[in-house]
Homo-oligomer: A and B are copies of this chain.
Amino acid sequence: GAEYFVERGDLLRLSRPADSHKGDFGEVLVIGGGPYTGAPALAAQSALRSGADLVRVAVPAAIADEVQGYSEDLIVRPFDGTQLTEPAVDPLLDLAADHDSVVLGPGLGAGEATLSAVEAFLADFEGTAVVDADALRVVPDVETEATLICTPHRGEFERMGGQDAADWETRAENVAELAAELGMTLLVKGPADIISDGKSTRVSRTGNPGMTVGGTGDVLAGVTGALAATLDPHPAASLGAYVTGRAGDLVVEERGYGLVASDLLDRVPTAMWDEQP
């Protein structure tokens, strides 16, 4: 139907009253980094570009200086060590409780101790979290009261128990099925992004072949995290996919492929607010 595809009209959700003040658009906590340094910085900056009022980024102390160095706009909260491990979980849960949404995963890597820590975090977390990258591995088995938006690519979708399919219509059905089973919102990335919470399923067709470059997933997670601070999970994920893809289209329209993920940051605001119908 007409509402099946995410379209420009969906952007109408994003207007701002003139008497807005600090806090109205949410505070986001990004938890990431360890083997990768750029990923949490990309997710945090994307969340800011998507209109979050405040974004804190919690990373291992070993990389805190580099992450902070990328921008004066970042607020870095280091935890001990070179990667996420269980001792950091309780302080992170306390910190997370002061935020409207959490983005969990960018650059954490797949170390065994890290995945245990992710599991421990999710088990006790009760807020809204966007889960991406290696952190997705523990999601199917964890018991949690959190509201989750998971953003796997097709390979990760299969590893979560989903069934991939060559045509996107069948894939959409399979996404809906797994979302219903797991009780969460899924955003499965691909040439067409599929978003479902089991009840409603939508497809976003923005984006282009230049976006196969590393880091675009971190941007999508950050954009979706910021939207999830003020919107329900399903529209947040739908708009997250639409806006991130559109930002990539703006870069490619301007100068062809060869984009890098940080190119998207500047175009997110344009994609989100400047093209409202």
Contact = CB atoms under 8 A, between A and B. Distances in A.
Given A72-B215, A256-B273, 9 more contacts: A18-B208, A20-B209, A22-B214, A23-B212, A25-B212, A37-B76, A42-B72, A49-B258, A259-B269
A72 B41 contact: yes
Q: What are the 3 tightest A-B residue pairs by CB atom distance, in nearest-first order? A: A256-B273, A258-B269, A38-B72
A271 to B, nearest CB: 9
A65 B62 CA distance: 10
Interface string A60-94: 00010110111111111000000000000000000
A37 B269 contact: no
A104 interface: no
Nearest to A270: B255
B261 A73 contact: yes
Interface of A: 16-25, 36-39, 41-42, 45, 48-55, 63, 65-66, 68-76, 153-154, 190-191, 208-210, 212-215, 255-262, 268-270, 272-274, 276
B37 A73 contact: no
A228 to B, nearest CB: 16
Contacts of A268: 258
B212 A21 contact: yes
Contacts of A69: 66, 69-70
A163 to B, nearest CB: 18
Contact of A24 (B21, B39, B212): B212
A215 B73 contact: yes
Nearest to A37: B68
A16 B248 CA distance: 15
A134 B52 CA distance: 22
A94 to B, nearest CB: 16
A276 B258 CA distance: 14
6 contacts: A51-B210, A73-B214, A73-B261, A255-B270, A257-B269, A259-B269
B258 A22 contact: no
Given A25-B212, A38-B74, A49 B260 contact: yes
A225 B73 CA distance: 20
Given A72-B42, A256-B273, A21 B190 contact: yes
B261 A274 contact: no
B257 A191 contact: no
Interface centre among A20, A208, A260 (most CB of B within 10 A): A260
Contacts of A71: 38, 260, 262
